[in-house]
Amino acid sequence: MLQEKQDSSSLLTRRELLTQATAGVVLVSASSYLGHAQTLLSSSSPATRTRDSFDFGWKFLKGDIPGAHRPEFSDAHWRELDLPHDWSIEGAFGEWEPSSGPGAYLPTGLGWYRKRFRLPQSYRDRAVVLEFDGVYQNSEVWINGHYLGLRPYGYIPFAYELTPYLDFDKDNVLAVRVDNSKQTNCRWYSGSGIYRHTWLLATNPLHIAYWGTFVTFPRISKESATIEVKTTVANNLKISAQCSLITAIVDKDDKIVQTKQTAQEISANDKCEFVQQIVIDSPHLWSPASPYLYTVRSTVRRSEHIVDEYVTPIGIREAVFDANRGFVLNGEHIKLNGVCIHHEAGSVGAAVPERVWERRFEVLREMGCNAIRTSHNPYAAEFLDMCDRMGFLVMAEAFDEWKISKNQIHNGYSLYFDEWYKRDLTDFLHRDRNHPSIVLWSAGNEIGDQSAPNGTETLRKLLDVFHAEDPTRPVTAGCDRIASDPSSNTAKPEFLALLDIVGYNYVDRWHDRAQKYYSIDREAFPQRRFIGTESSGMGTIRGDYRSLFPDEGPASRRRFLFEGNIDINVEQQWQFVRTYDYVAGDFMWTGIDYLGESSWPMKSSFAGVIDTCGFKKDGFYFYQSQWTQAPMLHLFPHWNWKGKEGQIIPITCYTNCDTVELFLNGKSLGVKGYEFPRSGMEGTYGNFPPRAQALRTTSDLHLSWDVPYQAGTLKAIGNKDGKIANTIEISTTGDPAALSLSVDRKTLIADRRDVAHIMVEIRDSQNRMVPVADNEVVFEIQGEGKLIGVDNGDPASHDAYKINRRKAFNGLCLAIVQTTSKSGKITITATSTALRSDSLTIETKAAERT
């Protein structure tokens, strides 16, 4: 029996192809059937489907070895590891690596994976499918020497049926060859290997098909919701089968709300699509503020036996993009406060533990972000599951290339598009179309085809697939050539007209659009629906304020790399987007720093407002000041400027308070304030609301003071509605004296997957973080854990991620620790020459069994 079995209720996130068929529907009222359905759904027999993790116990060798696909091949000296695995992130940075800037200057190449496994005799009469959530790229798979197939696109999930080739009397041998040697093939860091999860699925011959449910909501109101469930049931028997499909809507407390039963005979080796409509009263509607999830529990019954059970999480919501109102969710206007992100996560590369994403989502939510664009490829299933649970709205993107390749990318998806686009896109939609978080599909990003003679026809073919497989959601594309020069490079009007929603990448890039933004096209196309698919953000290098002194430092390092530069263009564009409802929202580039798309000595982009460690930059607080309501203040830069006494240091404040008064060493430097959006008179002439009566000193979205440097303490006091709402201080610190460790969670699950983030601060003798410290920190791990990555957020650092030491970057660094399979304790100790060390202990517990 497999040793890696997981709770199937939390892992069943796949959906499947729906075929057109007819089924006789038997309507059963809730009152007469509810109790019977509860009995059926709780009487699961061991003969129903099983879905087991296939991640543990693999062997790996980097390189291309002839004959490695053969069962008898000896892999005795290969490295043992668990999946997910990214071999590129384990390598050394090199300026002349073939991956170059797009691939973060990390090694790529070829690799082989092998795994031996035995199956129980009870699987002999079952269909066995091996699922891959993502392999980068050009993967080929063999089972017991039999070739199963090739999949070029590294971001797409896929599966192979193993049934005809399995041996139940001895070990089965699986071999996977991964070829990421053809560089460059992606504009950002992709990773290399089987970098997402794998699963072994076993079903009876009569079963719900792979990705076999599609749930839509024809009618939604606060009073009731009509849920339409299309379920494809496959009969792989050699005879016809009479069966019943029982579909139950289950609330978050695991209580059945409503059910329906449908009977149907399915011919031998055939499929049937069941179409059922179920009405529930007073539904809990899904939204970012309340991401309530129901479950569709599908049960297939033949004679007196349950032969299959399948679970589909759903959220009931009505998402509308309106030409005048913008984005409307459940009847309420919501502005999409969005970020673009990439799929990797710094020191762990593309093999991202789920908790790493959860922590990043927590930081984004604190910033006020409510929407994420999955730039520019399909993401892992667990990523979207988390968006469902945490209430993020998603623009799910399929491709970065169609037929036309991009600069620097010589071996990208354009080589495979004609042969693979329909299958890849269909698989993408079938897996993900039940996610309530996804409100918009994107067919592509900055594709060259937008201005090509045949680009409109290519878009039409893609839209045919989108609309056929999911008629409930609109489709956009990130277009960066609207009104561009030269005219031959401009996006074709007929191309834009085909899109359900026109996506603008950098709407302010060309001509007078730098000031007028969307208004030009709004006047020309009043029925067009607008969204900012990508725009400039407040990205900088965390804690680096050399731009304040442009005459100092290397001339080759451009000013905009460093914090302290206020991007007025970003502020002005946000003011426009916030003011005009017809712009559904905006996805700024980027929420989080990412590897690749860089130029040596940089290995990563610094465009994010959060760095690769998950540490906040100053730009984070700009968005928090605009996207959240709780009173907040943020001052920068730091106040450690020894040797610059008397020199003017510009102090900037991001806030949503009405006014802020700044003090240096107890002396007031003045009160300043701004108002956005501005308020006019109310009720009677001359009557302004309180906020409009507060002091206004700027029309910008930040406050600033020019302060002659003097060591000591800066203090800011924010007032809102006439009361002190927030106070912050920044002090000149002493020299580094000690390390201070903190952890995001002190109790983990002992499952070889869960992780903790250990943040290291360099502090002075008064326990204040030293914002310019760069001391090297050495980590020691004892107990039931292992170190899987170290980082400091410095985009120019070439230190390896998989060692036990890291220099602090502007006072901070990070270690990520992963559990083993044993319960116990993990002790992390950090040391640094001449500094006081620190340690902390984490407890690990066995996962609760259900």
CA 55 to chain centre: 21
Q: Are 119 and 128 in contact (CB under 8 A)?
A: yes
Annotated catalytic residue 90: no
Beta-carbon contacts of residue 113 (< 8 Å; ≥ 6 apart) = 58, 59, 60, 85, 175, 176, 178, 193, 194
CA dist list (Å): 252 to 249, 283, 314, 393: 10, 12, 11, 20
Identify the CA nearest to 752 among candidates 816, 821, 802: 821
Distance in Å from the first CA to the final CA of the chain: 18
Identify the CA nearest to 677 among candidates 713, 642, 645, 701: 701
Identify the CA nearest to 131 among candidates 164, 151, 157, 112: 157
| Strand ranges (E), 582-673 | 583-589, 633-636, 648-655, 659-664, 667-673
Q: Are 804 and 770 in contact (CB under 8 A)?
A: no
The residue count for the chain: 850
Q: Are 531 and 471 in contact (CB under 8 A)?
A: no
Helices (H), 682-751: 690-693
The two three-digit tokens of residue 554, written as one number: 């290397």
CA–CA gap between residue 289 and residue 365 (Å, rounded) = 11
Phi, psi of 464 (to 5 degrees): -60, -40
Strand order in the sheet with 158-161: 50-53, 198-203, 127-132, 158-161
CA dist list (Å): 579 to 335, 505, 659, 680: 10, 19, 22, 14
Beta-carbon contacts of residue 158 (< 8 Å; ≥ 6 apart) = 131, 132, 151, 427
Q: Are 811 and 771 in contact (CB under 8 A)?
A: yes
CA–CA gap between residue 757 and residue 741 (Å, rounded) = 10
CA–CA gap between residue 544 and residue 554 (Å, rounded) = 14
Beta-carbon contacts of residue 362 (< 8 Å; ≥ 6 apart) = none
CA–CA gap between residue 586 and residue 443 (Å, rounded) = 17
Report the 10 Å Cβ neighbour count for 219.
12
Q: Are 716 and 673 in contact (CB under 8 A)?
A: no
The two three-digit tokens of residue 265, written as one number: 């005979």
Residues facing residue 309 across a β-bridge: 299
CA–CA gap between residue 163 and residue 158 (Å, rounded) = 16
Among 309, 397, 534, 784, which one carries the catalytic annotation? Answer: 534
One-letter identity of residue 49: R
Helix (H, G, I), strand (E, B) or coil at 383: helix
CA–CA gap between residue 431 and residue 16 (Å, rounded) = 6
Annotated catalytic residue 534: yes
Radius of gyration (Cα) for the chain, nearest Å? Answer: 28
Q: How many CA atoms lie within 13 A of 385 on its CB side?
A: 16
Among 446, 469, 661, 761, which one carries the catalytic annotation? Answer: 446
Identify the CA nearest to 155 among candidates 495, 504, 471, 427: 427
Quick one: which H or E segment has residue 495?
helix 493-498
- Catalytically active residues, by annotation: 446, 534
